[in-house]
Amino acid sequence: MNERESLFRRLSAACGGHGGAAEEPPPGGPSAASEGDRVALFAKTFTAGGGFLLRGPVEAALSDLGEMLRAEEVTALFFPEGDAAAREIAEALVPFGPFNLTTGEEVRGGSAAVTAGFRSAEAAIAETGTIVETSARGKTLLPGLIADVHVSIVRVDTVVARMEEALAAFTADPPRNISFLSGPSKTGDIEQTLTVGAHGPKKAIALLLPPERAEQE
């Protein structure tokens, strides 16, 4: 069984499918790691997959985040309605642009602006450097699907070791849609040439917030 098949079997088992029993982590493996170790592993795997990592608190990260967005020629920022953390960060970034605030609906309608989509993540998976976002409570997934740059707001206390732990939180009331985001969108389908940003954001940024900041939000 190759790595891809193993991953799909684990995904099926974690979702209650017929892929077989979920693989048990080795003793002393990622699931046994401390929060600090899980966060460090997530940082390593996320950046290895082409993502960019910034650490909070928000006030300390705004200048660097604004510089990264300007480098990508971003002019418009959007976030899901009801996502207080995403709104706060996007609004605080406006003077660092200049940036304008827009909506996902306007971007989906064909806006010509270069956009950054902000969204709070439900979880992050250390072993694969993957950010988990879902449609739970009607929250849109558009920031991670149609923006030129996606900024995921990740609370360090939501970083888990393995995929099964992230999915366990949704088994009682599974959302209609779950996005697993591991770095920028990539494809090699066109003449076997790697293309970044073909089917989604060309840049993925994770903003790690400390627990005390996350709780306040």
pLDDT in tens, 101-116: 999 999 999 888 999 9
The band of 213, judged by pLDDT with boundaries at 50, 70 and 90, is very low
**HEC readout, 57-90:** CHHHHHHHHHHHHHHCCCCEEECCCCCHHHHHHH
pLDDT the model gives residue 111: 84
The pLDDT value given to residue 197: 46
Q: Is the pLDDT of residue 147 over 80?
A: yes
Which token pair is 115?
């956009």
* pLDDT of 18 higher than 50: no
What's CA 48's distance to the chain center, in Å?
Answer: 14
So what's the pLDDT on residue 214? 39
User: Residues near 36 by Cβ (< 8 Å), separated by ≥ 6?
Assistant: none
**What percentage of the chain reaches a pLDDT higher than 90?**
62
> 0.85 cut: is pTM over it?
no
The answer to whether residue 16 scores a pLDDT higher than 90 is no
Between 124 and 3, the higher pLDDT residue? 124
pLDDT at 171: 84
Per-residue CA distances from 171 to 19, 124, 140, 175 (Å) = 16, 17, 20, 9
The CB density around residue 73, as the number of other CB atoms within 10 Å, is 10
3-state class (DSSP) for residue 103: coil
pLDDT at 94 over 60: yes
Q: Which residue bears the tokens 């969204």?
A: 119
Report the chain's mean pLDDT, rounded to a whole number.
84
Indicate if the pLDDT at residue 10 is higher than 80. no
H helices then E strands: how many in the chain? 7, 12
Is 211's pLDDT higher than 90? no
Which pLDDT score is estimated for 207? 97
Burial of 24 (0-12, 13-18, 19+ CB in 10 A): exposed
Give the pLDDT score at 25: 55
